[in-house]
Amino acid sequence: ILQLNVRSLQSNRNYLETFLKINNIDIVLLSETWCKRSQIINISNYKFIRADRNDGYGGSGILIKNNIYFKTIQFQPKFNNNKIQTCGISFKISNSYITIISIYCAPGHKFQSNFWSTLFSSLSSPALICGDFNAYHRSFGCAFNNAEGRDLLDAVHDENLCLLNDGTATLLQRPDRRPSAVDLSICSPSLVPRLEWK
C-alpha cells in the first residue's frame, strides 16, 4: 500500500504509472488529486475511485489493482464537501475484511470537535485511514499544535486508533517555513504489526 500526496494526478500520471509498475503496488491512497468531476483518468492496470472538489483542487482517491475485488464505501455529505474529500474501500484479506480510507482536508478547515470521532467510529474495523489532514500537532512531527491537530489527535485516542507516522516531515515547504507532518497514516491496533510506515 502506498500513500501519496500527488498534487495533481494528471500532471504526475506518467511518473506514478512507472513507479507502480516498478514497485508492484497493489493499492495507492492519494490526496490532492486535483481532478475535476468531468475528468476521466485511467491508470494502467488499476481501478480508480475518488472524491473530487468542485473547483478541481484538493480531492482524494484510491487506485486498486484490477485483480483485487473490493466494495466502495459511501460517505455522508458532511464527510464529502469542499472542506473535506473522503473515499474508501473494503476488501478481503485472509478471510477478513479491511477498510481503507483516503482523505484530503482543505487548509484552515473548521469542524465540530466530535467530527473525527464521528467519522472514525462509523468505519468497520480494522481500518487504515490515510491522507493530508492539514492539521498540526507535535505528536505528528509538526513544530506547533493547532486546534485541528488537537481535535484529530483526541479522536485517534478516543477511538483507540494508532498513529503510524514516526515524526518525519511529510511536507517540505519554502525555505522560510518549517517542514511539517500533515500527511498522516492512522490505523486500528490490530493492523500495526502488519504495517510499516516509511
Task: Look at residue 37 in the predicted model and tell me its pLDDT.
Answer: 87
Task: Look at residue 122 in the predicted model and tell me its pLDDT.
Answer: 96
Mean pLDDT of the chain: 94
C-alpha cell at 175: 525555505
Spatial CA neighbour of 30 closest among 45, 52, 54, 14? 52
List of residues 6+ apart from 85 with CB closer than 8 A: 51, 52, 53, 58, 59, 60, 103, 104
- Backbone dihedral region of 93: left (phi > 0), alpha (psi from -120 to 50 degrees) or beta? beta
Residue 166 to residue 191: CA distance in whole angstroms: 16
Topology given in CATH for the domain delimited by 2-194: Deoxyribonuclease I; Chain A (3.60.10)
Q: pTM of the entire structure?
A: 0.94
Contact 62, 48 (CB under 8 A): yes
Q: Partners of 25 in the beta sheet?
A: none
Per-domain residue ranges of the chain: 2-194
pLDDT tens digits, 162-171: 999 998 888 7
Task: Look at residue 174 in the predicted model and tell me its pLDDT.
Answer: 63
Q: How much helix, strand and coil, in percent to the nearest 5, is found in the chain?
A: 20, 30, 50
Does 176 score more than 90 pLDDT? no
pLDDT tens digits, 18-48: 999 999 999 999 999 999 988 899 999 999 9
Instruction: For residue 158, name the pLDDT band (cuts at 50, 70, 90).
Output: very high
